[in-house]
Amino acid sequence: MLTALSRQFTAEVLKARKRSLFFGTLGLLLFFAILPLPIAIAGAADASIRDWARDIVTFPGCLWNTLKLTHLVLPMLITVVAAGAVGGEYSGGTWKMTLPRTTSRASPLLAKFLATLVLTLGTLAFTFAFAAAMGAVGSLILGFPFVAGPLGLGAGDLGRMVAYFVLEFSCIISLAMLASVATRSLIGGAVLGYVSQHLLRALTFLPGGWLSPMTNLESLQARWLAQSSYRIADVEAAMGRAMSWQASTATVVVFTVGCGLVAIWLFEKRDLASE
C-alpha cells in the first residue's frame, strides 16, 4: 500500500511539473512576490514614499506584504489546482486508463491529496523566498539594511504559521476533491469547491455555525498568522462562543478528514461514466 502510494505520489509530481495549471498558479504568486522590487525603485525615485517603501521592502515587511496579497487568491488557486488533479482526470478521460490497474481507488485519491498539499506548500515557500530575495535587492536600491533590527519572530511563530497553512490548504484541497468527485469534472470541482468555502463561511451565522471549518480557520489565523486581517474577538463574536485553538484545530481536522473519507467512499461507489 505504501509503495503504491509513493509511486502514485511520484506520478502526481511528474504530471504537475509539466501542467500549465500549476505553473500559472506559481506565476501569479510570483507576481505578488516581485512587488518589493518596483516599490523600491519607486521609493528611490520619490522621497515622499521612501519610508512606506522601506516598510514593504525590508524584512519581514516584504514577507507580510506578500502574505497579505497572496492570501487574497490562495483559496481560489488551491481549489483550482486540487480540482485539476482530480477533476482533470475525469475531464481528460484518464481515470479509465489507470483505475483498472489500481488495487484500490482510495490510494490514487490520497496520493493526489498529498501531492497537491506538498506542491502548494512548496509553491508558497518558494514565493516567500522569492519575495525575500526581491526585498533584499530592493533594500540595496533604497540603501537600507535588509534586516534593520530584532525580528520578534521565533521558531514557535514560524511553526504556527506552517501549521496554519497545512491546515488551511488541507481543508481546501479536501473540499475541492470532494466537489470534483461529486461533479466528476474539473470545472464543476473548481466552482463547487470554491463556492462551498463561502457557503461554509456563511454558516457561521446560523445555529451551530461555530462548527464551520472556515470560521475556525479564521480563528486560527487570528491566533497564528502574523499580520492577520482577523481579530480573535471579532471571530469569536461571529461564532457566538469562545473557541480554544485546540477546539478550532480539531474542528478543521475532523472536517478535512470527513470530506476526504466521503470523497473516497463516493469514488469507490460510483461508476466511472463515459467521458
Partner 1 sequence: MDYAIRTEGLTKRYGALAAVNNLSLEVPTGSVFGFLGPNGAGKTTTIRMLLGLIRPTSGAASVLGVDVLRERPRLSTLVGAIVEVPAFYPYLDAAENLRAMALGAGQALAAGESDRLLELVGLSKHGKRPVKQYSLGMKQRLGLAAALLGDPPVLFLDEPTNGLDPDGAREIRDLIGSLRSEGRTVFLSSHLLQEVERICTDVAIVQNGELRTQGNVAKLLASSGIELRVSSVARAAGLLGLPPAESHTSEAGWLLTEGTDSAVPGLLRKLLQADVDVFEVRPKRNSLEQLFFEATAAARGGTHP
Q: Which is nearer to partner 1, 98 or 244 (CB)?
A: 98
Q: Which is nearer to partner 1, 7 or 231 (CB)?
A: 7
Closest CB 204 distance from partner 1, rounded Å:
39
Residues in contact with partner 1 by CB under 8 A are: 3-5, 7-8, 10-12, 14-15, 18-20, 92-94, 96-104, 107-108, 271-275
- 59 forms beta bridges with 147
Closest CB 271 distance from partner 1, rounded Å:
4
Q: How many helices (H) and strands (E) does the chain have?
A: 12, 0
The CB density around residue 229, as the number of other CB atoms within 10 Å, is: 12
Nearest to 106 by CA among 25, 1, 249: 1
For residue 59, report the phi and psi dihedrals to the nearest 5 degrees. Answer: -90, 135
Closest CB 176 distance from partner 1, rounded Å:
19
* Virtual torsion, Cα 86, 89, 90, 91, nearest 10 deg: 110
Q: Which is nearer to partner 1, 94 or 244 (CB)?
A: 94
Q: Which is nearer to partner 1, 115 or 131 (CB)?
A: 115
CA distance 87 to 183: 8
Q: Which is nearer to partner 1, 107 or 139 (CB)?
A: 107
241: which 3 cell numbers? 462562543
Contact assessment for residue 230 and residue 243, using Cβ atoms and an 8 Å cutoff? no
CA distance 129 to 87: 31
Closest CB 89 distance from partner 1, rounded Å:
9
Closest CB 123 distance from partner 1, rounded Å:
18
